[in-house]
């Protein structure tokens, strides 16, 4: 099975096998969001287990 290149660019895998994703809502409408909320959404977040399972299938 081929690797989905778009998925590998959007997600990171940790050494323990966990999947990291970016926070949503970063493209536009940031004027109404607080600075704290914008700064916090720059971080990588842990993907949920069901989502992580799907992503691992597409990566490998």
Q: Give per-residue pLDDT as tens, 22-48.
A: 999 999 999 999 999 999 999 999 999
Backbone angles phi, psi at 33, to 5 degrees: -95, 145
For the domain with range 5-59, which CATH number is right: 4.10.410.60, 3.55.40.20, 3.30.70.600, 3.40.640.10? Answer: 4.10.410.60
How high is the pLDDT of residue 6? Answer: 94
How high is the pLDDT of residue 60? Answer: 81
How high is the pLDDT of residue 56? Answer: 93
Domain coordinates of the chain in residue numbers?
5-59
Tokens representing 4? Answer: 């989905």
d(CA 23, CA 17): 19
How high is the pLDDT of residue 15? Answer: 96
Sequence-distant (6+) residues with CB within 8 A of 26 are 41, 42
């Amino acid at each position: 099975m081929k690797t989905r290149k778009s998925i590998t660019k959007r997600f990171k895998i940790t050494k323990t096998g966990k999947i990291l994703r970016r926070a949503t809502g970063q493209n536009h409408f940031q004027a109404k969001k607080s600075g704290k909320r914008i700064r916090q959404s720059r971080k990588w977040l842990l993907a949920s287990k069901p989502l992580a399972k799907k992503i691992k299938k597409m990566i490998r």
